[in-house]
Structures are given as structure tokens and as C-alpha cells.
Amino acid sequence: MNVVDVFSDGKKVPSVAMVAHILRKIITYNRGFSAQLLVAGVDDTGPHVFSIMQSGMSVEREFGAGGSGSIYITSYCDHFFKSNMTVQEASEFALRAVNHATIRDGYSGGPIYVVQVTNDGVQTKWYKPEEQPLSPEIVQS
């Protein structure tokens, strides 16, 4: 028996909520584990995104942002996020949001890895700095 068997009531594939719950418990009971996690996926009930805070609190959201660069893009995300975006629109939104963070945050930078999770599977794409839509020259201060 493994952890998925224990927490998924015998289902072969646990729900996104169950995975978030398991990771929330791991963070809660291992205080030395310092991370903020985003858990995203598609299950039988549809697409889900969970933000799991360092405290162990888990919140389901329409989108999530975490890490050192997230403080630079929270207002950008609040302003430009739209419910029911197409996969292409969501990918462009994510690319621009992370690109904003890489310009302002000294700990972010380099290539951006965009992952598209749909009912059909997972697609990934790397964007090298020269392929990213924004340039550090946009910074005025």
C-alpha cells in the first residue's frame, strides 16, 4: 500500500484536491520544509489550482503565483487575469506575468518554462530570454 492508496479511497488516480491535501499535510508536519507550492491539474471534476502556503494552509484559486518574484506580479495578475481564457491566452498571460517578475526580481530570470495542463495531457515550452515579450529596458526606475 502506498500513500495514494491510503489517501484516495482506493482510486487509481487521486484528485487534484487530494494531492494538494497530501502536500499540505507534509508541509504542516515538517516545519523544516520551507516552501510555497502550487498544485495544478485536471481531474474528473475539471481543472484546479491550489496554493499551499508555508504555514500549510491550502486555498483553491483560479490562478496561483508563488516564489520570490510573485510580489512583483500580483497586481499584474489581478488586473489581466480573465476566467475562461483559452489555453493560448492563459499561456501568454503566464509568460508575460513571469517575464515581469524576471525583470524586477534578482532571484528570477533566465528561461521561462510554460506548462499547459489540459484534458489531453501536458505540453511544455521553454522561452529563452531573447524570445520573451518584455525587455529589461521597460524599467523606468
Provide the CATH number for the domain around residue 84. 3.60.20.10
What is the pTM for the complete model shown?
Answer: 0.78
3-class SS of residue 43: strand
84 secondary structure, DSSP code: T
Say if residue 10 is in the same domain as residue 34. Answer: yes
Say if residue 29 is in the same domain as residue 55. Answer: yes
For the chain, report the end-to-end CA distance as a whole number of angstroms. Answer: 56
pLDDT value, residue 11: 55
Say if residue 57 is in the same domain as residue 74. Answer: no
Q: Answer yes or no: is pLDDT of 39 > 90.
A: yes
Say if residue 118 is in the same domain as residue 51. Answer: no
Q: Answer yes or no: is pLDDT of 133 > 50.
A: yes
Domain edge (last residue) among 36, 61, 86: 61
The stretches of 10-86 forming alpha helices (DSSP H) are 16-29, 70-80
Please tell me which residue, 94 or 13, carries the higher pLDDT value. Answer: 94
Say if residue 78 is in the same domain as residue 57. Answer: no
Residues 108-125: b if buried by 16+ CB within 10 A, e if exposed: beeebeeeebeeeeeeee
* Average pLDDT, rounded, for the chain: 86
Contacts 24+ apart (CB under 8 A), 100-106: 100/72, 100/73, 100/76, 100/134, 101/67, 101/69, 101/70, 101/72, 101/73, 102/69, 102/129, 102/132, 103/134, 103/135, 103/136, 103/138, 103/139, 104/69, 104/72, 104/139, 105/68, 105/69, 105/71, 105/72
Confidence of residue 60 (pLDDT cuts 50, 70, 90): very high
Say if residue 91 is in the same domain as residue 77. Answer: yes
Q: Answer yes or no: is pLDDT of 140 > 60.
A: yes
Structural domain that includes position 40: 1-61
pLDDT value, residue 90: 95
pLDDT value, residue 97: 93
Give the pLDDT confidence of 64-106 residue by residue, as tens digits. Answer: 888 888 888 988 999 999 999 999 999 999 999 999 998 888 7
Give the pLDDT confidence of 106-131 residue by residue, as tens digits. Answer: 788 789 999 998 888 889 999 998 89
Domain edge (last residue) among 13, 46, 61: 61
Say if residue 72 is in the same domain as residue 141. Answer: yes
Number of domains in the chain: 2
pLDDT value, residue 1: 46
Say if residue 55 is in the same domain as residue 78. Answer: no
pLDDT value, residue 6: 52
Say if residue 16 is in the same domain as residue 36. Answer: yes
